[in-house]
Chain A
Amino acid sequence: MPNSNLNNAPTAITTSAFSPQSSPLFKMNNPASIVKQPQARRRYSPQHFYQNRILDPYVHQAVSPITLRQLVFFGRNMQEDKLLKSANYVRTELPIRLAHRIRDFQNLPFIVGTNPHIELVYDLYWQAFEKIVKIPEIKTLEENDAFCEMIKGLLNDHLVVIPQLALGIMECSKHIPAAQVDQFMSKMLRSRISRRVLAEQHITLTSNFNSPNHMMTDRGYIGIIYTHIKPRDIVERTGLLAADTCRQASGGMAPPKVLLDGNIDAEFTYIPDHIEYILYELLKNSMRFVMQNGKRDPTTGELPPIQVTVCEGTHEIVFRVSDKGGGIHPEMESQLWSYAQSPAREAAMLLDRHAPSRAQSAQKSSFSTTASSPQQYKNQSLHLGIGLPMSRVYAEYWGGDLKVFTMHGYGTDAYAKFCKFGNIYENFDD
């Protein structure tokens, strides 16, 4: 989940005084350090099987999904009692959602469950579950602050989840059919977004409440939600970042320009992070294709620009990202939305065991300009190859969608649709 350093909202994840061993940077490069030895034994012990009973009451409870609008109304005019209410909602809702996913893990074929990456994530989830379940009702602001610190720590620790899951799933691809893999991953990611939205929203509301940043709410920032998102700004931001990433990854080659038209000043309410994640992926992909296959203009020598069009309807806003990067080959097209990797990527991944740690650092720094890898552009092992399916999970989360159509030999068009009114319930299966 990318950090939002960009729209002046306080960051959800801060680096407070951590010891070197527990610093995010250290953990990123040593995912194994997160897993402490004693827990490793627990996974196979019979005790674990019987302890599983703790999970049952939570698995059987239904989740309470919310809408963006509800979050906005709730988050305005924050008072102490409302803040505590929010804290307890998060406290009770998170374990339920976690429990459902833990059960999904437990339903995987045994051989898959023994894969070290899958085990790692499974264990992370268990630890989180146990920690949160132990917390009693939050009655004071101090208790809330402590709660927020704990949640922040968990969010931090769980940054490795996506790359670990991706790697694990890929390694297990011969044990489970592709359709099942995709379904499992979708479910996992949807639920993960839902938990992080809840957690980050509450943490941000807390820190806004504590700090003299009350005026944030007046300016439209309600937790991680912003009520005056302007397509023009968001495309400019993500365009700049995608350009930087591509420039560095290619060793200095100038990326194509991004042109913008349509209803660029239409305003709507959403979580900027989600839109930025999606647009960043789409623009990065387009730039990559254009830099590899685009035909330069004979007179200016420039690569064909990428055209972003913003279309505002009565209920929705669509960002169309259109490039002339030669299009996607039909064979690759069938794999676009799959979490299970293609053979080429698989080979690259296996050779590069540092993929998870680098991927995670890229996630964190995806909105900064630090170089991800000095490697050759084409061999970028950073590519977990799941940017598109993940973007779609984000898009579908509040009732939108993401579609990609390609014209092989010419270019590709991607359409990211978002609901304007925020009255759609969170989309995550249970």
Chain B
Amino acid sequence: MTLRSAGSSMAITSTKRGFLTNTEQKEVEDVVSFYDDKVTQYANQEIQTVTLKTLLGLGRSGSSNHEQGTAGDLAINLDVARYARKELPVRLARLIKATQKLPFIVGTNPYIKRVYKLYYDSFQSITASPEEIRNKDDLDRFAALLKGLVASHADVVPMLSQGFLECKKYMAKEDIKRFLDDMIRARIGIRLIAEQAISLREQRHEHETSSVETPHDDIVGVVHTELRPADLIRTCASFVQELCDVNYGSSPEVVINGQTDTTFTYVPVHLEYILCELLKNSVRATVEQSQKMGRSALNPHGIESDRRPSPTNYESGNSAVIVNQDDDQDITKRVNDFGHPPVEVTIAQGEREVTIRIRDHGGGISQEDFDAIFDYSFTTVKNENDASKDSSSDDSPYGVDSIFKGVSRLAMQAGLGGPIAGLGFGLPLTRIYAQYFGGDMHLISLQGYGCDVFLKLKQIDESLDDLQI
């Protein structure tokens, strides 16, 4: 993170401001003087509502003609970078202003404060950088700046989540939800613009430094025009299964079926996030349900079930209805060696959208919990600070007796790329991402059996041209 340039003469004079504090205990000083007008100035400017077309169209033509070469690409890159330089401060300012409106007590929470500081510093950094981006060097410098900023913001959502969890009693649930929804949507837009500038610059750089035509003509900045969901699901599934193995000792299979050759145009990181969150939920639920039911390879229906597998699966004859209860041939149902039935992911390519359905045998969600699952900070993971819970060791992670406590837990999670659950924002965030480009997400709970999730994603094409970011 860069320091404030000497040119800026505004408010804060404390020289300590340049340090990034890493420990939560260290007091984060007030980052903004009451009299600092710069934020308000920018926040009051009109947001140039970027339509998807502008953002991508700027990049689209850039990668089409390799012959036009780097000159053409550079022009496009410069356009996007200039646009980002102008637009980002406005959006950041608005976000900062929204945070300033939070109740005072909430604003003093160290996590919220830290996020606020992050945004404020980013705002300062960008406004301090030169307004003119004339050539390649300017571009490279600006892209590097953006990259650094994006990296520093990686933990914003977990921090916000923790912060608001601690502030639960100071704000109404609906207000928290509204604030977080707006903030996250704004954040997605900001990142989209920033990442587009960064990626285009990197792609152009690759073009230049390699004489071979890069095989990535289908990637336009952050958008992939030939994204194969099946591949992405496979990757996410491996990641999630590994996470599950570490936390529980075993994991279910992930079966992918339907129209697996489907490709469409989308932003891969968005889809990756969505898939990981949903698969994490499904996988965790499956394993916990197996433990609860006593499911195993020998007892696929659980210990207490009085269902005995029938020797003949299919009743012959003219019956229109056939019981296929214990069909060993059906890989969408067959339990693996650990006794876990698989998580089934089905892909469908419709006329206007791609649908992905994720089904699990995780026991579903109880009626009481169901109304709360889209709340921020709702989680079924036991808080390790709940000393009042019975100390009989349970198999769920982060229980009081878990070996994964405190610092070691965080370290492990950091190594793995995050926890498997417990932050309480997976579902609400997933839904926001799903809806961002006009798609949607629906969750059906079959209590006692499992959950089905339907993810509808619109293809990013001309029909979305007017979508405002």
A contact residues vs B (CB 8 Å cutoff): 232, 235-236, 239-240, 242-243, 255, 257-264, 305, 307-309, 311-316, 318, 320, 327, 329-330, 403, 405-411, 413, 415
B125-157 vs A, Cβ < 8 Å mask (1 yes, 0 no): 000000000000000000000000000000000
- In contact, A312 and B346 (Cβ under 8 angstroms): no
- In contact, B446 and A405 (Cβ under 8 angstroms): no
B437-469 vs A, Cβ < 8 Å mask (1 yes, 0 no): 000001010111110101000000000000000
Q: Which residues of B contact A236 (CB under 8 A)?
A: 319-321
Binds A, one of B164-172, B214-222, B350-358: B350-358
Min CB gap B422→A, angstroms: 25
C-alpha gap A411/B366 in the complex (Å): 27
* Cβ-defined partner of A403 (8 Å) among B351, B364, B444: B444
B298-327 vs A, Cβ < 8 Å mask (1 yes, 0 no): 000000000000000000000111111101
* Given A407-B346, A407-B348, A408-B351, residue A240 in contact with residue B447 (CB < 8 A): no
Which A residue's beta carbon lies closest to that of B325?
A261
* Given A236-B319, A330-B351, A410-B346, residue A318 in contact with residue B325 (CB < 8 A): no
Q: Which residues of B contact A257 (CB under 8 A)?
A: 320-322
Min CB gap A331→B, angstroms: 9
C-alpha gap A415/B444 in the complex (Å): 9
Nearest 7 CB-CB pairs, A to B?
Answer: A408-B350, A313-B447, A410-B348, A311-B449, A407-B348, A313-B448, A311-B446
Min CB gap A378→B, angstroms: 20
- In contact, B447 and A407 (Cβ under 8 angstroms): no
C-alpha gap A259/B315 in the complex (Å): 10
C-alpha gap A300/B349 in the complex (Å): 25
Min CB gap B219→A, angstroms: 25
* Cβ-defined partner of A330 (8 Å) among B349, B353, B367: B353
* Given A313-B446, A313-B448, A316-B447, residue A264 in contact with residue B323 (CB < 8 A): yes
C-alpha gap A257/B324 in the complex (Å): 11
C-alpha gap A312/B333 in the complex (Å): 17
Min CB gap A284→B, angstroms: 12
B323, B327, B446, B449 interface centre (most CB from chain A within 10 Å):
B446
- In contact, A258 and B320 (Cβ under 8 angstroms): yes
Which B residue's beta carbon lies closest to that of A310?
B449
* Cβ-defined partner of B321 (8 Å) among A260, A262, A415: A260
Min CB gap A289→B, angstroms: 14
- In contact, A259 and B324 (Cβ under 8 angstroms): yes
B259 within 8 A of A: yes
C-alpha gap A408/B322 in the complex (Å): 26
B57 within 8 A of A: no
B18 within 8 A of A: no
Q: Which residues of A contact B448 (CB under 8 A)?
A: 263, 311-314
C-alpha gap A309/B361 in the complex (Å): 12
**A-B contact sample (10 more), CB < 8 A, given A318-B449, A408-B352, A408-B353:** A232-B323, A257-B322, A258-B321, A260-B325, A320-B446, A405-B357, A408-B350, A409-B350, A410-B347, A411-B348
B418 within 8 A of A: no
- In contact, B447 and A327 (Cβ under 8 angstroms): no
Q: Which residues of A contact B450 (CB under 8 A)?
A: 311
C-alpha gap A389/B437 in the complex (Å): 30
C-alpha gap A262/B446 in the complex (Å): 11
C-alpha gap A316/B452 in the complex (Å): 16
C-alpha gap A114/B444 in the complex (Å): 43
Q: Report 9 cross-chain contacts, Cβ distance below 8 Å, ordered by A residue.
A: A258-B320, A258-B321, A259-B324, A260-B321, A261-B323, A313-B449, A329-B351, A330-B353, A410-B259
Q: Which residues of B contact A410 (CB under 8 A)?
A: 258-259, 346-348, 355
C-alpha gap A131/B351 in the complex (Å): 55
* Given A313-B446, A415-B444, residue A243 in contact with residue B346 (CB < 8 A): no
Which B residue's beta carbon lies closest to that of A237?
B321
C-alpha gap A315/B319 in the complex (Å): 31
Q: Which residues of A contact B357 (CB under 8 A)?
A: 405, 407, 413
Min CB gap A413→B, angstroms: 7
Which A residue's beta carbon lies closest to that of B363?
A313
Min CB gap B343→A, angstroms: 15
Min CB gap B349→A, angstroms: 5
